[in-house]
Amino acid sequence: MITNIRYAGVMVDDLDEGLQIWRDLFDLEPVNEITTNQYGVRAQMLGVDGRPFVEVMTPADPETPIGRQMEERKNAKNPKGEGVYLIAIEVDDLEATLKHIESKGGTVIRSDGTVSIAWVHPLSTKMVFIELSQAGFEGVPGTRIPS
């Protein structure tokens, strides 16, 4: 099943501040440029020697999925709703893994036309979004950890 943890995604309210914290505390360096994806997430991947470790992300708009999740997570100890959002995992057989997760009651999200990547809905995993990719998939530039 699991062959590798590719990276973790962390939600922050202020992208520049969040990037600075991860760079300073862990001596991480940018793996790619800051981008905004089709889901309304502004993010940058940080890592070591070009290998990704953490994707620091912020919603481009509060009505995006990440923006709504940050709003739901707000509380007295976490007033901005920041924290771990996603864990990207590589698996040896994506289809078998998805079938196993569904057989155990998990909700799987598949993307049209993409057979090498899928997601597990956060309600199935106590509010952590899981990205699953077929071993060897390199569809997200700069995010595959070399074996």
Residue 142: the pLDDT is: 37
Domain map (residue ranges) of the chain: 2-134
- Selected residue with higher pLDDT from 145 and 119: 119
In tens, the pLDDT along 17-58 reads: 999 999 999 999 999 999 999 889 999 999 999 999 999 999
Q: What share of the chain is helix, strand, coil (3-state, %, to 5)?
A: 25, 35, 40
The C-alpha atoms of residue 120 and residue 39 are separated, in whole angstroms, by 16
Domain 2-134: top CATH class: alpha beta
Please choose, from the candidates 28, 32, 57, the residue with its C-alpha nearest in 3D space to the C-alpha of residue 140.
Answer: 32
Please choose, from the candidates 15, 24, 33, the residue with its C-alpha nearest in 3D space to the C-alpha of residue 142.
Answer: 33
Residue 113 gets the label, from left (phi > 0), alpha (psi -120 to 50) or beta, of left
> Is the confidence at residue 69, as pLDDT, over 70?
yes
Q: What is the pTM of this model?
A: 0.86
Instruction: List the alpha helices (DSSP H) in the chain.
Output: 15-26, 65-73, 94-103
